[in-house]
Structure 1
Amino acid sequence: MTGLTTMPFGDAAIMIAGGAEAGARERVRAVGRALERRMPHGVTELVAGLDSLLIRFDPLRTRAESIEDVIRLLDETTGVDNTVSSTAGRTFTIPVVFDAGAGPDLEPVASELEQSVDDLVAAVTGTMFNVVLLAAGMAPMMEGGRFDRPVRRGTQPRTNVPAGSIMLAGQNAIIQPFPGPTGWRVIGRTPHVVVDIAREDAAAILPGDRIRYRAVSRDEAERIGAAFLSPDDGPMGSDR
């Protein structure tokens, strides 16, 4: 397999991972999009990571070897296509409260990077992040950070992070759509709703979109309220 490796992940899942060669991450995503378009017999769920893809299957309906054959064929025949959605290219400006209450890891991450909290906030708000995939719960995962070194994951995962939390790991960022556990470092929180399962368009942000963050006070965040996020040129704007 060119650039990709597969490995068992328990008795009912396979993990695809990119190798070290250039373009491996893009190949993982291309294979994942091909699988989404036509799920193989017995496959029950796809869980995407930044450079990996977990394929869960029903062992009573298919075998790991059959799925590996499909992956191998897709890897050989699927071209890397960076067109990931019909709305790709939208820009969102997301207000974020950066303080110890909203971001319990803000000061520890700044210390880890050997900079002040203000410098870390400036680095985050001065970056245009690119959304590369929707993770579990339709959480928008993005890349593009320019920190002096990759941000380490937490040594002890947090068990219940609030919805709207802005989190870092490596050179990447993610927004927590619903309360839940995470091993990413929590540095702030947006008042906006980024996923609303009651809506037909449940995810406000899609792969291919661009994200910039804007620091706001708690008073301003309260004024904005829990509105569903819309792009900068959308009918509601983003409370820039």
Structure 2
Amino acid sequence: MNLPTFEPLADDALLLRFGEVIDAMHNTRALEASRRLRERDPCWLRDAVPAYASLAVFFDCGRIDDADPHAFVATALRAILQEPETAGVATPRLVEIPVCYDLNMAPDLVEAANELGISPDELIHRHSAANYTVAMIGFAPGFPYLLGLPDSLALPRLATPRTRVPAGSVAIGGNQTGIYPRESPGGWRLLGRTPLVLFDAARASPALLAPGDRVRFQRIDLSAFDRLRKP
């Protein structure tokens, strides 16, 4: 693995930077570095948070016997990233997300299709046929930023964001797609909605999706949405 650059992020954190732009290769490297670090699980590790092209590593200074914790952790990380693999890498988890693209749940679908010069049905087909990867979780607890949107579906954000976006809304923003885990403001184009709960603090794993997961959208109708929605 090519080594990233290292930058102090806080007194107890380092930022590993693999690139400067949204890119599947940079994200793959960030996810791989996070996986390796979590597998090694050094005593000083508090958390590893991947983003599109970087990895934030948080550490416990109290467990590091060194006058310069940043230098200590950077040296340890370089060693971990250069270690040869001793076992096969597990196949990423595939999660199917049911999505209702009914116009009642897709206020931007028709306008988005018109901007792209295709029919709403073609937009739905292309969006639901793509294979996505969870690049990172951010913005709100459980919000997945998904790589894999076809270039033909890239759309700018709304000029004026909405003050309220319903929980479960599936949307496009630029060359990304994502899912709003809870009601919140937002400026992405809303194409549909899932009945699944993306984040529940009472669950053993609160976030439904994790960085590195593979995602497929499954088109459903209104009756299926109502049947699958959690009471």
- Establish whether TM, by shorter chain, passes 0.5: yes
CA distance in 2, matches of 1:196, 1:97: 21
Deviations 1:11-31 (A, max 9, x none): 998755432799433332334
Q: Secondary structure at the match of 2:154?
A: coil
Report the secondary structure of 2:230's partner residue: coil
* 2:95 pairs with 1:102: no
**In structure 2, distance between residues paired with 1:108 and 1:12:** 46
- Equivalent position amino acid for 1:18 in 2: F
* CA–CA distance in structure 2, aligned partners of residues 66 and 96 of structure 1: 46
Residue pair 2:27, 2:51 contacting (<8 A) in 1 also: no
Please give the alpha-carbon distance, in whole angstroms, between the structure 1 residues aligned to 2:222 and 2:98: 10
Deviation at 1:120, TM superposition (A): 0.7
Matching residue of 2:127: 124
Counterpart of 1:162 in structure 2: which amino acid? Answer: P
The Cα of 1:115 is off from its aligned counterpart by 1.9
CA distance in 2, matches of 1:84, 1:67: 31
State the Cα deviation string for residues 45-68 of structure 1 (Å, max 9, x = none): 76543223456799xxxxxx8547
How far 1:137 moved relative to its partner?
Answer: 1.0
State the secondary structure of the residue aligned to 1:202: coil
1:196 is matched with which residue? 200
Secondary structure of 1:148's counterpart equals: helix
Indicate whether 1:29 and 2:38 are aligned. no
Greater per-residue helix proportion: 2
- Which residue of structure 1 aligns with residue 191 of structure 2? 187
> Is 1:177 matched up with 2:181?
yes
Deviation at 1:77, TM superposition (A): 4.3
Q: How does 1:133-212 map to 2 (within 5 A)?
A: 133-135=136-138, 136-148=140-152, 150-212=154-216
Q: Does structure 1 conserve the Cα–Cα contact (< 8 Å) formed by 2:100 and 2:192?
A: yes
Output the CA distance in 1 between the equivalents of 2:74 and 2:103: 44
Which is worse superposed, 129-138 or 17-26?
17-26
Please provide the CA RMSD for this pair. 4.1
Over the matched positions of the two proteins, sequence identity in percent amounts to 30
The one-letter amino acid paired with 1:78 is L
**CA 1:178–1:72: 2 relative to 1, 3 Å:** farther
Q: Are the counterparts in 2 of residues 6 and 68 from structure 1 also a CA contact under 8 Å? A: no
- Give the Å deviation of 1:204: 3.1
Q: Secondary structure at the match of 1:107?
A: helix
SS for the counterpart of 2:191 is strand
SS at 1:212 equivalent: strand
Residue aligning to 2:18: 18
8 Å Cα contact 1:4-1:24 kept in structure 2? no
Q: What is the letter of the counterpart of residue 228 of structure 2?
A: I
- 1:141-200 per-position Cα deviation (integer Å, ceiling 9, x unaligned): 332222326333344443432221112234432222222233433221111223222121
Using the alignment, how far apart are the partners of 2:24 and 2:199 within structure 1? 33
Secondary structure of the 1:181 match is strand
Which residue, 29, 48, 51 being the options, matches 1:49? 51
